[in-house]
Structure 1
C-alpha cells in the first residue's frame, strides 16, 4: 500500500535548464544530443582519415584520360565534347544499317513465334496416350474396362500431368512476350523508315485526316510528282 501511495504522490521531474549566465548559448544540450553530435564528428574524422591515406598512397605517375579531356570552367572540371560531326550521307548510311538490322530481327522473331505457335497447337490437339492392359481372367478385364471408361470421361486438362501444364503455361507467356516484342520492333522499323524517307529531297506535305484513305496510326506524307530529266 505504501508503494501505491508513493506512485500517486510522485513529483514530476523537470529537465535542467540553461543557467542564467549561459542564456546567450541557447538551449542546454542534452546527453542524446551530444551522442548524435559526437557520432557525426567521428564519422567525418574517419572519412578524412581514409581520404588522406588514399592520397598518400597514390602513385604520382598515374595517368587518367580525363587529365587531357577536361578543362576548367569557373573553377569546375568540364569534359570536352568530342562528338564527331557526321555528314548527311554518313547519317543516311547508318540509318539504313539500323533499319536493316531491325528488319533482320523482325524476321527472326516471326520465325520463333511461328515455331512456338505450331508446337503449342500440336500439344493442345494431342490425344491422350492409349495404354494396353493384360488381364488374367474375365472379371479383371471387366474391372479394367470400367476403370478406363471412367478415365476417358475426365476432361483432357485433368489427364495432362502438372509438369506439362506448367511448361505449356510458360510457353504461352513466352509467346505473348514475343508477340509484344514483334509489335514494338515493327513500329520502330516503320518510324525509322519514315524518318529516312523524309530526309530525301523533294517537296512533300503532311496529309490531313480527311485526306487519308486507309486508316493508319501514324502521319502520312505525300510527295509532289516531279518529272524525271
Structure 2
C-alpha cells in the first residue's frame, strides 16, 4: 500500500509568500524562523527570572570588593582598574633587576658569538699536512724547498674544495653570526640606556643638556649633575 501511495504523484505544498500590499514589512516569517525566535525569547526570559530571584534573596549586609572597584555607566557595570603605585625604592630595585637580567643576556649572547666565530675560523682554515723533513746541510734544505711548497699548495687546494652541503651550512652559520652580533650590540646598548635611567632616578640635582651643549654625534640624552659639597 505504501508503494502505491509513493507511486502516485502528490500535490506539492509551497509556503505562502508575503502579500503584495505588505511587501514594505519585509519577508514573511516562516515557521522555522518563529521557532528560533521563540527559543531565544524564552532563554532570555529564564535568565531574567533567575536574576530577579537572585536579587530578591540577596543578603543586604553582604560585602565584596567589586562594590568599590566597579561602577555603573549607562546601566552597564564597568570595573575600575587602578594602577598600583610603587615607591621610589621599589622602582630602583626593579630597574636594578632589569639591568642584571639584560646584562646576563648580553653576556650569554657574546659567548655564543665567540664560540661561533671560533668554529667558523677553524672551518675556513685549510688542512695543513704537517710533515717533518730533516736536512743534513744547507744544500739539502734548498733541495727540499720544492717539496714543502707543493705540500702547502695541495693543502690549500683541498681546503678550497669544500662540498656544497658544507658551504651551505657555513653560509648559514655566517648569517647566524651576524644576527647574533647585532643582537649582542642591541643588548649592550639597552644596558647602557637602562643604567643611565637608573642614575637619573637616583639622588642629586641634575639637568638635561641642550643640543648646543653636547656633541652633534651624540644621540642619547646627556645629563649633568650639580656639584655638591660632601659633608
Same fold, TM-score > 0.5, yes or no: yes
Query: Structure 1's 161 and 27: CA in aligned 2 closer, same or farther, altered over 3 A?
Result: farther
TM-superposed CA distance for 1:80, in Å, is: 4.1
CA distance in 2, matches of 1:116, 1:91: 38
* Residue in structure 2 matched with residue 201 of structure 1 by the alignment: 203
Question: What is the TM-score normalised by the length of structure 1?
Answer: 0.57
Q: 1:185 aligns with which of 175, 184, 187?
A: 187
TM-superposed CA distance for 1:128, in Å, is: 8.0
Deviation readout 1:61-114 (Å, 9 max, x if unpaired)? xxxxxx965635223333342643221101101111111111111111111111
TM-superposed CA distance for 1:187, in Å, is: 2.2
Q: Is the 8 A contact 2:71 2:80 kept in 1?
A: no
* Residue in structure 1 matched with residue 221 of structure 2 by the alignment: 219
CA distance in 1, matches of 2:200, 2:174: 39
Deviation readout 1:36-71 (Å, 9 max, x if unpaired)? x99xx69x77x969x89xx9xxxxxxxxxxx96563
CA distance in 2, matches of 1:128, 1:78: 76
SS of corresponding position for 1:113: helix
CA distance in 2, matches of 1:154, 1:96: 53
SS of corresponding position for 1:211: coil
* 1:71 corresponds to 2:73: no
Structure of higher CA gyration radius: 2
Gaps of 5+ in 1: 1-18, 56-66, 131-148
- Map 1:89-104 onto structure 2 (within 5 A): 89-104=89-104
SS of corresponding position for 1:73: strand
SS of corresponding position for 2:84: coil
CA distance in 2, matches of 1:27, 1:81: 46
Gaps of 5+ in 2: 1-17, 48-63, 131-152
CA distance in 2, matches of 1:129, 1:214: 55
Number of corresponding residues: 167
- Map 1:77-88 onto structure 2 (within 5 A): 77-81=77-81, 83-88=83-88
Query: Structure 1's 48 and 215: CA in aligned 2 closer, same or farther, altered over 3 A?
Result: same
TM-superposed CA distance for 1:168, in Å, is: 1.2
